Amino acid sequence: MAWGVGSSFPFASRERLADTVVGEDEVPPPSACFAVAAALCVGAGALSEVLALPSWLRVVVVRAMATVLGVRAVLGFLGATSLISPGSTSATFRRRDRALYSPLTLALAVVALRSAHRLSEGATACGRADARPFR
């Protein structure tokens, strides 16, 4: 959200932020920054059970999050992030994408997928004595 209001954190300039994190000359518009932040907040809220959602919807949201993160990770490893983020082509970005962003995104996808599996077990086992709580 900080990038949406003009911050360059953790970089010294918006140009450096754009090159390193986005792979373009400019940072995306505030609306795009806020949309990504909102999607991440909804996913985190569903995963942590902070959002009051029906069990089935919580599982759908967490599975969707795992899918999006997984696709993003695979595209990053293949050097094809520009397919979903046109213009993400700077050498700095591509190097970091393969070495840092994609492995972290894949790790988040795996955790989300595992959590979705546990959540779905809890949702289908609701009311059973042998149901395992989400932990």
CA distance 116 to 62: 6
Instruction: Enter the pTM of the model.
Output: 0.83
**Residue 73 identity (one-letter amino acid):** A
**Backbone φ/ψ region at 49: left (φ over 0), alpha (ψ -120 to 50), beta:** left
Q: What is the pLDDT of residues 72-102, one digit of tens each?
A: 999 999 999 999 999 999 999 999 999 999 9
Q: What is the pLDDT of residues 11-37, one digit of tens each?
A: 999 999 999 999 999 999 999 999 999
CA distance 44 to 62: 8
Residue 128 scores a pLDDT above 90: no
